[in-house]
Chain A
Amino acid sequence: MDQGLRELYQEVILDHSRHPRRFGALQEATHTGEGYNPLCGDRVKIYLALDAENRIQDIAFEGKGCAISQASASMMTDMLVGRTVEQAEQLMSGFLHLVKGEDTNGLAPEDREQLEVMGGISEFPMRVKCATLPWHTMKSALEGGETAKTE
């Protein structure tokens, strides 16, 4: 198989997309955000429950989309639980660098290792927006919920 495709559709990614973690709504959400990719019509909704210290106590997502956006949302929600808002934003910034094939020095080594599987997307410029949609949506949820768009 094409090396690029092999990296893009790694087993880990397919597993996340087939069995997304933290999929569903969150009753006790303090923040929600909706994301929309006008290119493909994909939608994602992120639910966040922040505690008094601005820590992500719980997080979930709903939506329909391609394997890349679903896997990205699943990994993101998995990694964000327990982090502060500030840490979440740091992780997002590192992730955005990663999927664009840029320097990821801002990421903690263990985060980089986990996110590495998404690195293959940088070879597919038309698909980078699929991977970033959940992250932009998470950010917009934190900022008070305008619909995030990837364009």
Chain B
Amino acid sequence: MTAQLKRVPVAAFDPLAARADFEILSRTVYGKPLVYLDSAASAQKPRQVLDAMREFASSDYANVHRGVHYLSAVATERYEVARENVRRFLNAGQADEIVFTHGGTEAINLVAHSYVAPRIQPGDEIVLSVMEHHSNIVPWHFLRERYGAVLRWIDVNDDGSLDVDRVDAAIGPKTKLVAIAHMSNVLGTITPLKDVVARAHAKGVPVLADGCQGVVHLSVDVQGLDADFYAFTGHKLYGPTGIGVLYGKRALLKSMRPFNGGGEMIQEVSRERVTYAPPPARFEAGTPPIIEAVGLAAAIDYLSGLDRKAVAAHEDDLLRYATDQVKELNWVRMIGEAKNKGAILSFETDDMHAHDVATILDREGVAVRAGHHCAQPLMERFGVASTTRASFALYNTREEVDVFVAALKKARAILG
């Protein structure tokens, strides 16, 4: 009963064919064709994902792990198949190492609460990079505020790249965790995660990777990386909102206290005491995002049905094509030019504020993000209050990049 697409091996990737799967891309805004360059904030959803959710909800839906009735069994099966699907996608060893959460943010908070917090003595350290998203910063600030943890920041180079030696230097005897993005949502930098993990493990320190961006553009192999925790969110992966994933090594998950309390996460509850279910149920209190899990599985099927290498090459082409054009504008300063980077282009413009630029682009139908991108320590690092960010997904085209660049020049003409 799994909603898997057949894995047809395809030699290459045709973005125009893929576009046809994303109905929203044919709409207009202000009478102009939509050019959606904000997929790093949230990606659009293909028909296959929406159909899978609709079909599931209209034919096989019930609560999971609860009823003895037919539909509950069917829905439970679908939910667990989705988990298996995620396991395969991340190449995790066991399906019970996959915890469904309500988003990437919740996955990280789960690690902070259930794994790190009980191990913190005042003065213990969390190592993190300055390019983290606020969701991989604020949970650690909580530990600082509540338990006296110390945040040790790893700087990035001026081009946005991250030296693994700096990670090494930041890890000390009091380090309890290294928390680091697989790919930056502002700079696009892809971090040397495997090396980071190796260095951290050499000192006995576990690593949490924030894969919210990385999982979209890279083929992730959590066993190959040897990451202890890997968190990602569904909606940036062409899946629905309201669902995320925490991969955790089985031994670590088993050693962790629960996160939220409620139904499903218990073994037994009496008036006097409570015992907890083993992972992953221990961390999935309450009714989980069931329809969303089916949607996420469909998104993974969708991606797996494509030649992901070819998709990555296409995104890379868009990034390079856009970067070359934008760099010709002498009033633009690129932020983030690491050699190893994903399809995100952030920049600052002379005498033009990012919000004004984004407003003018918007009227041309071009959706970009302007602001601090939930990465204020990074903004501070580069001495800017905000940047404009164009992010590319599998469904974008070179023609759209041209529209974007023309709109940028128009913004210059109006504001410059």
Contact = CB atoms under 8 A, between A and B. Distances in A.
A5 B359 CA distance: 8
A96 B415 CA distance: 25
Interface string A4-15: 110011000010
Interface of B: 30, 351-356, 359-360, 363, 370-372, 376, 379, 385-386, 410, 414-415
A8 B372 contact: no
Contacts, number: 51
Most buried by A among B30, B356, B371, B379: B356
Nearest to A126: B359
A130 B414 contact: no
Contact of B414 (A9, A18, A65, A126): A9
21 contacts: A2-B30, A5-B359, A5-B360, A8-B359, A9-B414, A18-B351, A39-B371, A40-B354, A40-B371, A40-B386, A41-B371, A41-B379, A41-B385, A42-B385, A43-B385, A66-B353, A67-B353, A67-B415, A68-B355, A126-B359, A130-B355
Nearest to B380: A41
A40 B372 contact: yes
Contact of A40 (B352, B355, B363, B414): B355
Nearest to A14: B415
Interface of A: 1-2, 4-5, 8-9, 14, 18, 39-43, 64-68, 124, 126-127, 130
A70 to B, nearest CB: 8
Given A40-B354, A41-B372, A41-B376, A1 B414 contact: yes
A1 to B, nearest CB: 7
Contacts of A41: 371-372, 376, 379, 385-386
Contacts of A68: 355-356
Contact of A5 (B352, B372, B414): B414
Contacts of B354: 40, 66
Given A9-B414, A9-B415, A66-B353, A40 B359 contact: no
A40 B370 contact: yes
Contacts of A42: 385-386
A124 B371 contact: no
Nearest to A130: B355
B355 to A, nearest CB: 4
Given A5-B360, A5-B363, A43-B385, 7 more contacts: A18-B351, A39-B371, A40-B372, A41-B372, A41-B386, A67-B415, A130-B355
A126 B359 CA distance: 9
Contacts of B359: 5, 8, 124, 126-127
Contacts of A4: 363
A121 B30 CA distance: 16
Contact of A127 (B351, B355, B415): B355
Contacts of A40: 354-355, 370-372, 385-386
User: Can you list the 9 inter-chain pairs with the closest CB atoms, starting with the nearest?
Assistant: A66-B353, A66-B355, A41-B372, A2-B363, A41-B385, A67-B356, A40-B371, A66-B356, A5-B363
A22 to B, nearest CB: 20
Contacts of B414: 1, 5, 9
Contacts of B386: 40-42
B403 to A, nearest CB: 14
Most buried by B among A2, A14, A130: A2
A28 to B, nearest CB: 29
Most buried by A among B353, B376, B379, B410: B353
